[in-house]
Amino acid sequence: MSSKKKINKKDIGKLLSRWSQQFTVLAPSMESGVATMAEWDGKDTSFLDWYRNTVIPPKANFFPPMEEMFSFQKDREGYHIELPLVNEHKQLIFGIRPCDAKALAILDMTFEEAYEDPYYLAKRNSAVLVGLGCTNPYDSCFCTSLGISPAESTDVDLMLTDIGDQFLIEEVTDKGKELIAKTSGLKEATETDEARAKEAKETSHNKVTRKINTEGIEDKLLACFDDEDYWEKIAAKCISCGICTFLCPTCYCFDINDELVKQQGARFRSWDSCAFPLYTKMPMENPRLEKWRRVRQRVCHKFEFYPMTFNVIACTGCGRCIRLCPVNWDITRVLESLPVKV
Amino acid sequence: MRQGTEWEPKLVGFLCKWCSYAGADLAGTSRKKYPANIRIIKVPCSGRVDPLFILKALRLGFDGVLVSGCHPGECHYQTGNYRARRRVAITKKFLEYVGIEPQRVQASWVSASEGGKFTEVVAEVTKGLKEIGPNQLFSQERQGDGTKAT
Amino acid sequence: MEQRLRNEAKALLEQGKVDWIIGFESGSLKFATTPLITKDKNDADRLVINPFMVNNLANFLTEVKGRVGIVAKGCDSRSIVSLMQDNKVAREDVVILGVPCRGIIDLSKVERLVGKERDELDDITREGDKVAIKVDGEKKEFLATEALFDNCLACEFPTPQEYDILLGEPSTSVVNKPAAQEKIEKLKEMTPEQRWEFWKNEFSRCIRCYACRNVCPACFCQRCFVEETEPQWVLPVPRWQDNLIFQIVRNIHVAGRCTDCGECERVCPVNIPLRSLTKEMYDLVDELFHYKAGMDKEAAPLLIAYEYAEAEDLFR
């Protein structure tokens, strides 16, 4: 029932400029060959040609690789703590993919439901997500196996679909509806536009060819949880680096470190990874000393433990962990090769 | 820095306890003058100095680092200074390539009897540091977020 | 060559000469290979030899227990020898299946050549000193020197230096040293301030995933200095200062072990030109001490060995 709008592709620059007055607009940006969501420079819309997905997932815009939690000074009276300035500017992320938007919804479960993380929520609650449907998914993408469409999303505020020279704009949330109401220069979409969008969505859906079978996955994983030989074999080539976890849009582990130099310092939090042998070494020993236990943890956390807690698989099939893995360790191959049939 | 006073570089010296540290001691007991810019850390052997120490000192804001040990052939442990020599040589050259001024990383051989040489070395190194100015290599903005995103 | 490798590997396992085979098999993405680490002789039929064998398999040698048959290109064989010099593995526990290498194809370069990403390409083939790329049904030819990794273009020893079985005739590499050295020469033309600024900028992207370190066969410390907490040399927080110190010290620590296999740069997810550091160290070591990593299993490692007179001009 929501009315649909459209915009010419060549007018995207104008649209982003307009939104820039109200928001810090983040858009796909390529720097030194690395695609990220970065502050839009005010003119460049060339990303519409090259953008498939970012290397650094948009979680980094809410849960950055490192952030200062507070700074402190020490004097005779003790410590004086200063909280960081809250950036009053609201973020508008333009072009987020449905998989990554879903990932933020999954992160919300940890950072909002399980406990309230003020650093994450300060950025997250004020943000507007403008989704952009995929037209050219990677061969490593498998979102459709996880109930996600590469061109549709309920986790964004507005959703854009490529219909040739134009984008169809759909309002997904009230926030999105409000934004559209305040945005001038959009045209009403026709029935033909909507039909085209529907077709475009189906086309991109069919372009995702990598599949996994998630039916009964929790039970399957539970059944082979203790199969040490299997996990050892699967883990053999893993090099225990942090790529798959750091660049996973749903991984949220972090480490906290203090730095004190000459009576002043700060507390930082930064990404941590269950793939690291030293993970959780700070408070205690790492219970997963052997590599196969760490590899099992990553698989099971996403496909067994997270579903047990939040009733959702903590994987959105974005494929980053497959594309970027130094040894081509492929989670879809692993899930397909589990040594049990349930 | 108070107005009117000249900036004085801070230099950390890793001195081997058998030779250079004893040399520094001799300079002191002989009442020789050398710049007070050096902060001495005694190490069992110049071979103990991990290049990491040098980087850490620069990271902490020291303007220069001096590694000093026994002359070649005179190491208390036979070969420690030979090993130090290779390590310091590649460190010096490599840091220069990365963009750290060569004056900031210095090395010398000073024996226990060379109190005079020790004062000369410290004076020369300090002079070199005064010429290139304070170490601001790592002091630029405190935040260095891993992504470009805001 | 591939069939012979499979036969040899199978025989080694069958005859009990090795407990493990470490080689490459086809990966799950286009043009990808993936390490195959197995005890099962039936897996030997999955072994491949092709111009996409990126990994330096020496990295896995220290991970398995027992005797190992390992596939090695020129640079990998040197990494294996280097591990022997450091007493990490014993010569008699390793059967080196040497592959004379003709250079490995850099998919990032291929992507730039044709303006398409790797999964959008139909085929990539190596034909003599050419690389043919088929895209949208059309075949385009390029010089191999345009499509191989920089480190391959600088390769001095494409044929393994140490082997038990050599799979094929010794090869000569396709070399283009100026091209391989271009980024480094550019840096050397800059002032020290500009160079520092350059690295500061590059390392502000680093996310400290440690892929560069973990993929490196020369980085074998049980506990890396970056992870020490007493004392805490650097914070495990991706600030450019800490990132840069990590990488500088890593380079110094692996001096004389680095064989310029280029893996650190290849795996970096944020494209930091790490080889511009490692290769300079590789050359420095050669220039100062006439030392090349992994050439002689009997030789003392670089930072243990010494000559009575060397590098004296750097000391006061």
CA atoms within 13 A on the CB side of C81: 27
Give per-residue pLDDT as tens, A163-200: 999 999 999 999 999 999 999 889 999 999 999 999 99
Give the C window 273-302 contacts with A, CB below 8 Å: none
Nearest Cα residue to A234 out of C34, C244, C295:
C34
List, in sequence order, the alpha helices (H) in chain A: 12-20, 47-50, 98-108, 118-125, 174-182, 191-207, 217-223, 228-235, 243-246, 291-300, 306-310, 320-323, 331-336
Question: Based on the domain organization, do C131 and C233 belong to the same domain?
Answer: no
**Residues B147 and A35: beta-carbon distance below 8 Å:** no
In angstroms, what separates the C-alpha of B31 from chain C's closest C-alpha? 22
C316–B109 C-beta distance less than 8 A? yes
Residue range A285-302: mean pLDDT, rounded: 93
Nearest Cα residue to B92 out of B61, B55, B125, B57:
B55
Does residue A164 lie within any of the structural domains?
Answer: yes
pLDDT of A2 over the 90 cut: no
Token pair belonging to C69: 């048959």
Give per-residue pLDDT as tens, C77-127: 999 999 999 999 999 999 999 999 999 999 999 999 999 999 999 999 999
**Residues A235 and A291: beta-carbon distance below 8 Å:** yes
Q: What percent of chain C has pLDDT over 70?
A: 100
Question: Based on the domain organization, do A178 and A244 belong to the same domain?
Answer: no
The whole-number pLDDT of residue C261 equals 97
Does residue B27 lie within any of the structural domains?
Answer: yes
B143–A56 C-beta distance less than 8 A? no
Please name the member of B87, B147, B148 whose beta carbon is closest to the beta carbon of C303: B87
Q: Where a domain ends, among C147, C175, C208?
A: C147
Tell me how far CA of residue A333 lies from CA of A328, A330, C25, in angstroms.
Answer: 10, 5, 14
Give per-residue pLDDT as tens, B60-88: 999 999 999 999 999 999 999 999 999 99
Question: Based on the domain organization, do A38 and A144 belong to the same domain?
Answer: yes
Secondary element (H or E) of residue B91: helix B80-98
Question: Based on the domain organization, do A200 and A232 belong to the same domain?
Answer: no
* Angular region, C262: left φ>0, alpha ψ -120 to 50, beta rest: left
> Which residue of C270, C271, C272, C276 to mutate against A (max A Cβ within 10 Å)?
C270
Question: Based on the domain organization, do A112 and A224 belong to the same domain?
Answer: no
Q: Residue A282 is part of which domain span? A: 217-336
Cα of first residue to Cα of last residue in chain C, in angstroms, is 56
Residue A195 dihedral angles phi and psi, to the nearest 5°: -65, -40
Token look-up 């403008």 returns A130
Does residue A342 lie within any of the structural domains?
Answer: no
Question: Based on the domain organization, do C139 and C96 belong to the same domain?
Answer: no
Secondary element (H or E) of residue B65: strand B64-69
Q: Residue C129 is part of which domain span? A: 105-147
How many CB pairs lie under 8 A apart between chains A and C? 118
Question: Based on the domain organization, do C143 and C154 belong to the same domain?
Answer: no
**Most distant CA pair in chain C, distance:** 65
Q: What percent of chain A has pLDDT over 70?
A: 99
A261 touches chain B (CB under 8 A): yes
Does residue B141 lie within any of the structural domains?
Answer: no
Question: Based on the domain organization, do C113 and C100 belong to the same domain?
Answer: no
**Residues A160 and A99: beta-carbon distance below 8 Å:** no
Question: Based on the domain organization, do C52 and C134 belong to the same domain?
Answer: no
Token look-up 């020291």 returns B62
What ipTM describes this predicted complex? 0.95
CATH of residue C131: 3.10.450
Question: Based on the domain organization, do A171 and A293 belong to the same domain?
Answer: no
Contacts 24+ apart (CB under 8 A), A80-83: none
Question: Based on the domain organization, do A247 and A319 belong to the same domain?
Answer: yes
Give per-residue pLDDT as tens, A6-64: 999 999 999 999 999 999 999 999 999 999 999 999 999 999 999 999 999 999 999 99
Question: Based on the domain organization, do C89 and C206 belong to the same domain?
Answer: yes
B138–C207 C-beta distance less than 8 A? no
Residue range C231-244: mean pLDDT, rounded: 94
Does residue A341 lie within any of the structural domains?
Answer: no
> Which residue of A31, A37, A61, A66 to mutate against C (max C Cβ within 10 Å)?
A66
Does residue B53 lie within any of the structural domains?
Answer: yes
Using DSSP, state whether B11 is helix, strand or coil.
strand
Q: Where a domain ends, among C147, C178, C204?
A: C147
Question: Based on the domain organization, do C53 and C127 belong to the same domain?
Answer: no
**Residues C89 and C62: beta-carbon distance below 8 Å:** yes
The whole-number pLDDT of residue A262 equals 82
Helix-helix angle B20-29:B115-132, to 10 degrees = 100
Residues of chain B with C-beta less than 8 angstroms from the C-beta of C185: none
Token pair belonging to A35: 């695609």
Question: Based on the domain organization, do C37 and C164 belong to the same domain?
Answer: yes
Question: Based on the domain organization, do A193 and A173 belong to the same domain?
Answer: yes
Q: List, in order, residues 6 or more apart from A32 with CB less than 8 Å away.
A: C202, C205, C270, C271
Contacts 24+ apart (CB under 8 A), A106-109: A106/A250, A106/A306, A106/A310, A106/A312, A106/A314, A106/A316, A107/A59, A107/A62, A107/A63, A107/A249, A107/A250, A107/A252, A109/A309, A109/A310, A109/A312
Decide the pairing of beta strands B105-109 and A158-162: unpaired
Using DSSP, state whether A331 is helix, strand or coil.
helix
Residue by residue, DSSP assigns A19-43 as HHTTSEEEEEEEETTEEEEEE--SS
The better pLDDT of the pair B33, B1 is held by B33
Token pair belonging to A310: 């939040």
Does residue A321 lie within any of the structural domains?
Answer: yes
Residues of chain B with C-beta less than 8 angstroms from the C-beta of C195: 97-99
Question: Based on the domain organization, do A20 and A154 belong to the same domain?
Answer: yes
What 3 state SS string does chain C have? CHHHHHHHHHHHHHCCCCCEEEEEEECCCCCCEEEEEECCHHHHHHECCCCCCCCCCHHHHCCCCCCEEEEECHHHHHHHHHHHHCCCCCHHHEEEEECCCCCCECHHHHHHHHCCCHHHCCEEEEECCEEEEEECCEEEEEEHHHHECHHHHCCCCCCCCCCCEECCCCCCCCCCHHHHHHHHHHHHHCCHHHHHHHHHHHHCCCCCCCHHHHCCCCCCCCCCHHHCCCCCCCCCCCCHHHHHHHHHHHHHHCCCCCCCCCHHHHHCCCCCCCHHHHHHHHHHHHHHHCCCCCCCCCCCCCCCCCCCCCCHHHCC
- Number of folded domains in chain C? 2
Instruction: Enumerate neighbours of C (3 or more CB pairs within 8 A).
Output: A, B
Chain mean pLDDT for chain C: 96
Token pair belonging to A287: 């219970």
Length of chain B: 150
B147–A67 C-beta distance less than 8 A? no
The whole-number pLDDT of residue A87 equals 73
Cα separation, C273 vs B26, in Å, equals 48
Question: Based on the domain organization, do C269 and C211 belong to the same domain?
Answer: yes
**Residues A245 and A275: beta-carbon distance below 8 Å:** yes
pLDDT of A281 over the 80 cut: no
Residues of chain C with C-beta less than 8 angstroms from the C-beta of A139: 29-30, 119
Entry pTM: 0.94
A261–B60 C-beta distance less than 8 A? yes
B91 touches chain C (CB under 8 A): yes
- Number of folded domains in chain B? 1
Sign of CA dihedral A324, A330, A335, A340: negative
Question: Based on the domain organization, do A63 and A151 belong to the same domain?
Answer: yes
Search chain A and give the residue with CA nearest B145. A66
Question: Based on the domain organization, do C84 and C216 belong to the same domain?
Answer: yes
Residue range C151-176: mean pLDDT, rounded: 93
Please name the member of B89, B121, B148 whose beta carbon is closest to the beta carbon of C288: B89
Residue A77 dihedral angles phi and psi, to the nearest 5°: -80, -10
Question: Based on the domain organization, do A68 and A146 belong to the same domain?
Answer: yes
Confidence of residue A217 (pLDDT cuts 50, 70, 90): very high
C270–A55 C-beta distance less than 8 A? yes
The whole-number pLDDT of residue C230 equals 83
- Number of folded domains in chain A? 2
**Most distant CA pair in chain A, distance:** 73
**Residues B119 and B91: beta-carbon distance below 8 Å:** no
Instruction: Enumerate neighbours of A (3 or more CB pairs within 8 A).
Output: B, C
Question: A330: which DSSP letter?
Answer: -
Question: Based on the domain organization, do C75 and C177 belong to the same domain?
Answer: yes
The whole-number pLDDT of residue A330 equals 97
pLDDT of A1 over the 70 cut: no
A282 touches chain C (CB under 8 A): yes
CATH of residue B34: 3.40.50
Using DSSP, state whether A273 is helix, strand or coil.
coil
Cα separation, A217 vs A300, in Å, equals 10
The whole-number pLDDT of residue A3 equals 75
Token look-up 């301030």 returns C193
Does residue B149 lie within any of the structural domains?
Answer: no
Confidence of residue A342 (pLDDT cuts 50, 70, 90): low
Does residue A132 lie within any of the structural domains?
Answer: yes
Question: Based on the domain organization, do A178 and A227 belong to the same domain?
Answer: no
Using DSSP, state whether B88 is helix, strand or coil.
helix
C238–A138 C-beta distance less than 8 A? no
Q: Where a domain ends, among C147, C175, C210?
A: C147
**Residues C271 and C207: beta-carbon distance below 8 Å:** no
Nearest Cα residue to B85 out of A182, C31, C306:
C306
Nearest Cα residue to C100 out of C127, C77, C83, C132:
C77
Please name the member of C225, C238, C314 whose beta carbon is closest to the beta carbon of B92: C314
Cα separation, A156 vs A93, in Å, equals 10
Token pair belonging to C232: 């805490």
Question: Based on the domain organization, do A141 and A110 belong to the same domain?
Answer: yes
Does residue A242 lie within any of the structural domains?
Answer: yes
Query: Hey, what amino acid is at A228?
Result: E
Q: Residue B61 is part of which domain span? A: 11-132
Does residue B63 lie within any of the structural domains?
Answer: yes
C29–A139 C-beta distance less than 8 A? yes
Question: Based on the domain organization, do C190 and C133 belong to the same domain?
Answer: no
pLDDT of B143 over the 60 cut: no
B98–C277 C-beta distance less than 8 A? yes
